[in-house]
Amino acid sequence: MEKDGLTIVYTGKGKGKTTAALGIALRATGYEKKTCMIQFIKGSWHYGEMNSSKRLEPEFEMVAVGKGFVGIIDDKSSKEDHQRIAKEAIRVSNEKIQSRKYDIVILDEINYAVNLNLISIDDVLDLVKSKPKEVDLVLTGNYAKDEIIEIADLVTEMREIKHPFQKGIKAKKGIDF
């Protein structure tokens, strides 16, 4: 018999947080477990996960709620607009978590959404505390708050040691997006 669901956090400034969460989804799909990933930030950009996630259906569902990365490159949305969308992502997350249709729910970039003041730490703590005990919950994004780290069962910090951007190498399709 399996134990109660875990709360897992992937954080830190290094690459690989979303990729680690997707690794859990890939593994779970092999056991016909249902996973839902809600994306808080990446929503309006096109990236490889949007295509590959469809190959894992019906066990895997990805819901991109965000409007894209906040305050960089071509972001034309106001902070208030990003906050409104992030609140909607919280509502969707709660709905998916409470539905009991998923074994695993991934809240992608939720820690970053808190850091950007798009949502409150209390919003996130409420999600974690109210999850059904059998649901595994994965939270990704850098700047995980101490309160999240304390309540989690597993926390992994990705630490950047070296990055191709330091050599002027731009983001690479299939590796970075």
Q: What is the mean pLDDT of residues 88-105?
A: 97
Rounded CA gap, 14 and 102, in Å? Answer: 28
> Which pLDDT value is given to residue 54?
86
Render pLDDT for 119-169 as a digit per residue (tens, 0 to 9): 999 999 999 999 999 999 999 999 999 999 999 999 999 999 998 888 888
Q: What is the residue extent of each domain of the chain?
A: 7-167
What DSSP designation does 164 have? G
Pairwise CA distance, residues 70 & 82, whole Å? 7
Predicted pLDDT at 166: 85
What CATH number does the domain located at 7-167 have?
A: 3.40.50.300
What pLDDT does residue 1 have? Answer: 41
At residue 24, the pLDDT reads: 97
